[in-house]
Structure 1
């Protein structure tokens, strides 16, 4: 089986869909963990887009060059709300906990699939002491965007995902990001895995003003300089 030239995680999917990118390469969409592991196991796409942490692991194995990394920005972790469902505050830990308990159903991507938001959410509900109650009304999927889509179809009241996978999706609105100390902003970036013209072309599009505008439109934040 031929390896697609682009390995992209779901956090940038909506932005890529907004681009006018004629003749774009075949894209393998997946969770951060799944895409990282495919490269660790020997697959060589032209370019991979995953979290900063995942790229660091690949760099430590000599599979990408740190100096070639293209930063894309930060994505917060939030809750999608089904259209027409009651809005509840989630701006404090107590309000957040109460909203999760009050929801009829909650969808998220299983942490074991390598989903960044799902893995974080599972740790949060353990810390809040409500893991059993929340899991009893869970709809577990492979990708955060699938949970958001299920929310948009009315199958769950709330969905957990990156904010960038919630904004501008049909049938849902952003209820809000997780409150401190349970918030999580994940840095995402691109890096060439195989050098060549195809990698250069993909990176040029990912670094273009059009892509920057698309990322901004779905809630990506620019990373602050150290």
Structure 2
């Protein structure tokens, strides 16, 4: 992340699944209050590691479990916590290609076994979809059967791009990371029994030197007037 560009600039460290709304919000916020906004986007695991490694942010927007852990360790201001929304995992299919039926766990399992190549986020990076999908393969008992056809990518966007290009038949990723990619569409969410929703929460860091500005940014991100933008980006507001 770049160094603070001015006394009132604001650093926001966030899960990358929220960037389609946060980037324009940051620009509008900076114009309104005169506080430049600098972003660090990445998989939740990567952002956590960078913050724990000493990188400083004024506002942190990560999964509810990580924000709770940061609250316990004194990294965030407890009273500043606000829920932003939740995101589910979706099956990506190339435009013009019929979507497989994955309405039940057994049908989802069969779709994975039938696919020639499956794009997914590399679980080693620490993203929500990649780590959950890796666990699902073990849970379904097919890790060995499909491991040779997994195309592990560095992000959900790259996962969707692999499907759009035809490298992979299907992809597994968070809905917000798929929607901006042309040539691919969200076929269906994972079956309810296998789905994992990630709830994102924002909080002001205890290291924040502009806490009022940080709190104002969080209020803007959680404003009900932004609900339609969040939904269009694949995020379900609270």
Secondary structure of the corresponding residue to residue 95 of structure 1: helix
- Give the superposition deviation at 1:132: 2.0
The reply to whether residue 132 of structure 1 matches residue 144 of structure 2 is yes
In the superposition, the TM-score normalised over structure 1's length comes to: 0.89
Residue-pair matches, total: 223
Question: Could you say which residue in structure 1 is the equivalent of 2:232?
Answer: 217
The reply to whether residue 28 of structure 1 matches residue 5 of structure 2 is no
CA-to-aligned-CA distance 1:18-61 (integer Å, 9 cap, x gap): 65834562211110011112222222111121100111111111
Q: Residues 220, 153 of structure 1: CA spacing in aligned structure 2 closer, same or farther, 3 A cutoff?
A: same
Question: Could you say which residue in structure 1 is the equivalent of 2:13?
Answer: 7
Secondary structure of the corresponding residue to residue 112 of structure 2: helix
**Bigger radius of gyration:** 2
Q: 1:148 aligns with which of 155, 160, 180?
A: 160
In 2, distance between residues paired with 1:25 and 1:157? 38
- Give the superposition deviation at 1:140: 0.9
CA-to-aligned-CA distance 1:151-179 (integer Å, 9 cap, x gap): 22333221211122223531111111111
Question: Could you say which residue in structure 1 is the equivalent of 2:8?
Answer: none
CA-to-aligned-CA distance 1:100-149 (integer Å, 9 cap, x gap): 11122111112121111100000001111111222211111222222123
In 1, distance between residues paired with 2:51 and 2:130? 21
Question: Could you say which residue in structure 2 is the equivalent of 1:205?
Answer: 220
Shift >6 Å, 4+ stretches: none
Structure 1 portions without partners, runs of 5+: none
Judge conservation of contact 1:96–1:179 (CA < 8 Å) in 2: yes
Q: Residues 50, 3 of structure 1: CA spacing in aligned structure 2 closer, same or farther, 3 A cutoff?
A: farther
Structure 2 portions without partners, runs of 5+: 5-10, 31-35
Question: Could you say which residue in structure 1 is the equivalent of 2:197?
Answer: 185
- Give the superposition deviation at 1:195: 4.3
In 1, distance between residues paired with 2:222 and 2:84? 8
